[in-house]
């Protein structure tokens, strides 16, 4: 079952449970997915990796909005944004620890060295290209980039 199908199924679950926050949040996310799919010259179908990236952005957006509301003294609105972010984050894959991410980077580097590739800082693109699908949005890309730089230096 794709992530999009799960979201659509959960609309019905939230509707039957009377969970208005969950229902509204999932509907908004589905609307954002459909907007992305229909934008551009030709319609496209987003895959699970693209939907995961979109969900991460949506959750981060709500957390940022919650921080803004909180600093403005609107704690009730901040709590509502945090609740939406938590609902969205429930659809995201389990996050990796830094140690797990470093292990993946080390495995990729070892694999490339085993293939006879001489790795330097210029090889960073090749390493990142191999690491990114394995991480799959479960760890911060900027932090992965820093780990790769440290390993290649």
Domain boundaries, the chain: 3-89, 98-152
Average pLDDT over residues 64-74: 94
Q: Is the pTM of this model over 0.85?
A: no
List the CATH code of the domain at 98-152: 1.10.10
Angstrom CA distances, 4 to 34, 52, 104, 128, 150, stand at: 10, 10, 27, 27, 37
pLDDT of 77 > 80? The answer is yes
Which range, of 15-29, 98-112, 124-138, averages the lowest pLDDT?
124-138
Give the 3-state secondary structure of residue 43: coil
- Please report the pLDDT score of residue 82 as a whole number: 94
CATH number corresponding to 3-89:
1.10.1510.10
* Amino acid 27: pLDDT: 96
Mean pLDDT of 13-24: 94
């Amino acid at each position: 079952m794709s992530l999009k199908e799960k979201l659509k199924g959960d609309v019905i679950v939230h509707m039957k449970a009377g969970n208005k926050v969950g229902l509204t949040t999932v509907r908004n996310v589905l609307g954002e997915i459909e907007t992305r799919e229909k934008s551009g010259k030709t319609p496209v179908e987003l895959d699970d990796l693209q939907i995961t990236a979109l969900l991460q952005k949506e959750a981060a957006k709500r957390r940022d909005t919650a921080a803004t509301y909180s600093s403005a003294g609107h704690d009730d609105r901040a709590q509502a944004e945090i609740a939406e972010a938590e609902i969205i984050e429930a659809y995201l894959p389990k996050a990796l620890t830094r140690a797990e991410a470093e292990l993946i980077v080390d495995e990729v580097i070892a694999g490339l060295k085993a293939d006879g590739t001489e790795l330097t800082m210029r090889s960073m693109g090749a390493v990142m290209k191999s690491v990114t699908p394995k991480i799959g949005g479960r760890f911060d890309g900027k932090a992965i980039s820093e780990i790769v730089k440290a390993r290649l230096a």
